[in-house]
Structure 1
Amino acid sequence: MPTEEIQSATDAGKIWETALGELECSLNRPNFRTWYARTTGLGFEDGRFIIGVPNSFVAEYLEQNQRSLIAKTLIKLTGRDNLQLGFKVTAGGKTGAVRPAPGDTSARSEGCRFNPRYDFDAFIVGNANRLAHAAALSAAQKPGEGYNPLFIHGSSGLGKTHLLQAIGQTAERAGKTVRYVSGEQFTSEFVSAIRERRGDEFRERYRNVDLLLLDDVQFLAGKSQTEESFFHTFNELHNSGKQIVLSADSPPKAIAQLEDRLRSRFEWGLTAEISPPDEKMRLSILRSRAEQAGAELTPDVLDYMASEVIRNIRELEGNLNRVLAYSRLLRSAVTPDLARRALKNLAAEPVENKPETGPELLLDTVAACFEITPEDLLGRRRDKEIATARQVAMYVLKSQNLWSLGEIGRLVGDRTAATVSHSCDKIGRELEFNPLLKRKLIDIENRLGGK
């Protein structure tokens, strides 16, 4: 993409959102969340694409360890082979939460800096998040009176941070004192307070609020002193009728190394899951985001993009940004064919000279791992084991990014594209908490890798 087309922060931000969707597919979740969660695209300076980072530590890590991957991703998106990168420390990072400097009492006030885009009006509600949205709205409008604590969990990029910030902004407008913080920031501030002997000030900051919003609470697990501090903070706020809202990538019972006394308290109120969006919800999100971007997309384009199985909303929005950028570059209207061409390179590039794995081999391998026959796999029997194997087969075929949902349906015994979509979504959700299924997938991958 020519430099003049991405001079503005808006264009750079959209490009970086698209890049994040691709980078998330290339990295494991903890690594992505740690190094990329609060980054943003700032614009161009002296011919370099500038990436905003929350602190110099992140800048140094990305510069030394991720530069090649980032450059490759941005070159693919922009078409600029000589693209250069730069990193700049910004005040708030992507989330808008600001880490206060020692001695800065104004920055430690209870008011938070939120991303104005993360409000309830911009949150698309569907079957995947209806309970979480309703509970969040209740907590924002009547803090401490209903679900307390409210514990929202789900995979990365599904809207947990959006809901927490929407709660905070709604409560602040009603005159409530709010503190929004990530688990990482809470830990960092606690360690600094202990080192600088500001324990009383730290306790006052977190206990003298109407609402405490803690994002990625799983970050506290295994840090005994931090858990101890939060345990007492939780008790103080809860006993005072103050609202507590927590988010994590898994339910309390599934957070490893979390103290049992914290786990039990997290389950006192309401636990609400956010699941990956189904096709209907993906369509609503795409339509809303396209309207916000001022783009008019035809129903067939939206249907095509929504039919693709997407793991999270960030990836979905990245796909939309990529299609719109591709359209601007070619000065062409967005059609299903153009969208298909724009998105065809999003899949992980195959290893050079590695032969493609045919569908028959994939299906035979899945059948062998589940100890059933290929005929059973493609047939109409609905035994639990066979049905699960069939859904896994669809998931594995989809992960190859070689066939459409309709083609996968025909390969697996003439199933519909809707059945394939549902099956892939179901397996994707179960992999988050089912270690047996995860081992089965690893076994399939290992067998395929040896053939």
Structure 2
Amino acid sequence: MNISLWNHISSLLEQEILPLNFSLFLSDVVVSGDGDELILSCPNEFVLEQVRSNYEERIRELARQISGREIAVRVTSGPQIANPPVRLMPATPAGESPSPPDPSTFLLNAEVVEGPENLFAWQALRQAIAFPGRYNPLFVYGKTGVGKSRYLQTIASAYEKRGRKVLLLRGFEFMNQYMMAVQKNAYEAFYQHFCGLDLLCIDDVHYLEGKDRTQETFTNIFNGLFDSGAQIVLSADRPPNAITGMMEALVSRLTWGLILEIAPPSETTRRRLVERWSAHAQPLPAAVVERLVAHPFASVRAFEGVLTRLWAQTEIFGRPVGLREVQEELERTGEDAAPLGLSEIERLVCDHFNLSSRELTGKDRSLRVARPRQLAMYLAKKHGSSSYPVIGEFFGLKSHSSVISACRRIEKLRRSDRQLSLDLDEIEKNLK
């Protein structure tokens, strides 16, 4: 059973991390253990440290999602196994201008499933691969699990295949490496990591919020790479001007290029995901597929997690799953509750503040109406699935930047304004 479980886990990890990292740190892991224990034996101490530091928690999380119970994951050092040779990617020689391919024919890696909801984002990524620096920086944002990390991994992999020098870091990894450099007075070695890069990807850059010295350092690195023509790609859970605690100078730089929202998977995307998975596993019953495709999942990660567990049940227990198992999985993950609609939020806020729908979505800017409108937009973004522009249009605003400002203001006031906090708590109790 543990071999089958590891096969499922490793197939998901292979989609999440760069191919080079998977080859170096996970491809030679030897799996053992019975029942509720998964033992991963690494070929040497270096691989052991990397797996423990970067992948152990994610492996434990995937094991729990797939099996439906807690699995003890133990990472140990096993027999020595020769690692495959690693070719370091050189930086593009100065002055070289390779002829780029036609971006309309550029194929992304096989793990990418494109849907109509994010067509613009993927086309922009093709342009960034074919014409480095055209959209610089390229900033993508969206809720957890919608595919931001995969977006960055895709462009990083494409650059590596073309012989470019690439560095992909998570926001907290950048912060930790900088703090270590400060402690060891090793600034030169730290900056050396970024010299000569053709592509820098920072995933979850919002981890830098409130860290002024780290932001100053990142801004200096950003300026140097930007001036040298390197492509910079960043991701966050919010657009740049909605990240509280971010220095104005850095926010200004993050908004220089193209800002794109990654939306939750549409019905078309969910169907394509099922079709892709079915090509490598036993097909699910048609009724199960239709139930999954029709459900408005909040993220690709949640959808793939449910798919993984359903296919695992089919493989491990040797019987097809039905609608009952689908419903159990949706309830287990909290996916049985659909995102709250804008009309429902509007109704709850109007009832609480004794306002009419026309007042809440109208042009009245008095505090009596404006503050409830801000609360409604904050709740819509927090509990719903609509984008900033859609929320702004619904509540009668001309620009989605007003929605972002409202969300930031309510987030701050919630910590200092007791009455506003009580109002929010009361409304959120009635959210279904």
Q: How does 1:318-329 map to 2 (within 5 A)?
A: 318-329=305-316
Q: Does 1:282 align with 2:270?
A: yes
Deviations 1:32-75 (A, max 9, x none): xxxxxx99x99552544338896767999x7xxxx9xx79x94x
Task: Please say if residues 178 and 190 of structure 2, whose CA atoms lie closer than 8 Å, have aligned partners that are also in contact.
Answer: yes
Q: Distance in 1 between matches of 2:52 and 2:163?
A: 35
Q: Name the structure 1 match of 2:241.
A: 253
Tell me how far 1:445 sits from its aligned partner. Answer: 3.5
Distance 1:84 1:167, change over 3 A: closer
> Does the residue aligned with 1:247 lie in a helix, a strand or coil?
strand
**Structure 1 stretches lacking a partner, 5+ long:** 18-37, 91-105, 113-117, 350-362, 400-423
| Residues 111 and 345 (structure 1), Cα distance of their counterparts in 2 relative to 1, 3 Å cut | farther
Q: Match of 2:163?
A: 175
Work out whether residues 55 and 89 of structure 1, in 8 Å CA contact, stay in contact via their aligned partners in 2.
Answer: no
Q: Give 1:219 shift.
A: 1.2
1:302 is matched with which residue?
Answer: 289
Does structure 2 conserve the Cα–Cα contact (< 8 Å) formed by 1:207 and 1:233? no
Structure 2: give runs of 5+ residues left out of the alignment.
15-24, 41-48, 78-84, 92-106, 337-342, 363-371, 393-402, 415-420
Specify whether residues 79 and 180 from structure 1 end up closer, same or farther in structure 2 by C-alpha distance, changes over 3 A only: closer
Q: Tell me, in whole angstroms, the C-alpha distance in 1 between the residues paired with 2:345 and 2:121.
A: 39
Aligned with residue 426 of structure 1, among 380, 383, 386: 386
CA distance in 2, matches of 1:369, 1:86: 46
CA 1:16–1:442: 2 relative to 1, 3 Å: farther
CA contact (8 A) 2:209 2:245 kept: yes
2:194 is paired with a residue whose SS is: helix
Cα 1:108/1:258, change in 2 over 3 Å: farther
Amino acid at match of 1:235: N
For 1:254, the aligned partner's letter is A
Does the C-alpha gap of structure 1 residues 44 and 54 become closer, same or farther in structure 2, counting only changes over 3 Å?
same
2:202–2:234 contact (8 Å) kept in structure 1: yes
AA paired with 1:178? V
AA in 1 matched with 2:166 = V
Does residue 313 in structure 1 map to residue 300 in structure 2?
yes
Question: What whole-Å deviation, never above 9, does each CA across 1:295-333 have from its counterpart, x for those lacking one?
Answer: 223443222102112111111001111211233344333
Kindly provide the CA deviation profile for residues 395-431 of structure 1, in whole angstroms up to 9, marking residues without a partner as x: 99xx9xxxxxxxxxxxxxxxxxxxxxxxx64389969
SS at match of 2:38: strand
Residue aligned with 2:116, SS:
coil
Superposed CA deviations along residues 228-279 of structure 1, whole A, max 9, x for unmatched, are: 1111111111111111111111100001111111101111110111011222
- Normalised by the length of structure 2, the TM-score is 0.64
Residue 128 of structure 2 is aligned to residue 128 of structure 1: no
Alpha-carbon distance between aligned partners in 2 of 1:174 and 1:327, rounded to the nearest angstrom = 40
Considering only aligned residues, what root-mean-square deviation do their CA atoms show, in Å?
Answer: 4.8
Q: Structure 2 CA distance, aligned partners of 1:160 and 1:297?
A: 28
Equivalent-residue separation in structure 2 for 1:289 and 1:348 (angstroms): 20
Change (3 A) 1:364 1:285: closer
Question: What is the letter of the counterpart of residue 370 of structure 1?
Answer: C
The residue number in structure 2 matching 1:371 is 351
Deviations 1:4-53 (A, max 9, x none): 36555214557999xxxxxxxxxxxxxxxxxxxx99x9955254433889
Q: In structure 1, what is the Cα distance between the partners aligned to 2:345 and 2:225?
A: 54
CA-to-partner distance for each residue in 1:109-153, whole Å, 9 max, x for gaps? 6689xxxxx963321112332222111222122222x10111111
Q: Which of 78, 83, 86 is the aligned partner of 2:73? A: 86
CA distance in 2, matches of 1:197, 1:108: 30
Secondary structure at the aligned position of 2:351 is classed as coil
Question: Structure 1 vs Structure 2: percent identity of aligned residues?
Answer: 27
The residue that corresponds to 1:157 in the other structure is 145
Q: Distance in 2 between matches of 1:243 and 1:189?
A: 21
Deviations 1:333-384 (A, max 9, x none): 34445533554544499xxxxxxxxxxxxx99995652289xx99xxx9x95
Aligned to 1:414: none
- Distance change in 2, residues 1:200/1:125 (3 Å): same
State the match for 1:34 in structure 2.
none
Structure 1 residue 206 corresponds to structure 2 residue 172: no
CA distance in 2, matches of 1:193, 1:296: 51
- Indicate yes or no: 2:128 matched with 1:139: yes
Number of equivalenced pairs: 345
Q: For the structure 1 residues 296 and 111, does the alpha-carbon distance in structure 2 shift closer, same or farther, using more than 3 Å as the test?
A: farther
With structure 1 as the length reference, what TM-score do the two structures score? Answer: 0.62
Alignment of 1:403-442 (within 5 A): 425-426=385-386, 435=407, 442=425
Q: Is 1:193 matched with 2:190?
A: no
How far, CA to CA, are the matches of 2:255 and 2:219 in structure 1? 14
Farther-moved stretch of structure 1 (310-319 vs 123-132): 123-132
Aligned partner of 1:217 in structure 2 is: 205
Out of 391, 416, 426, the residue aligned to residue 443 of structure 1 is 426
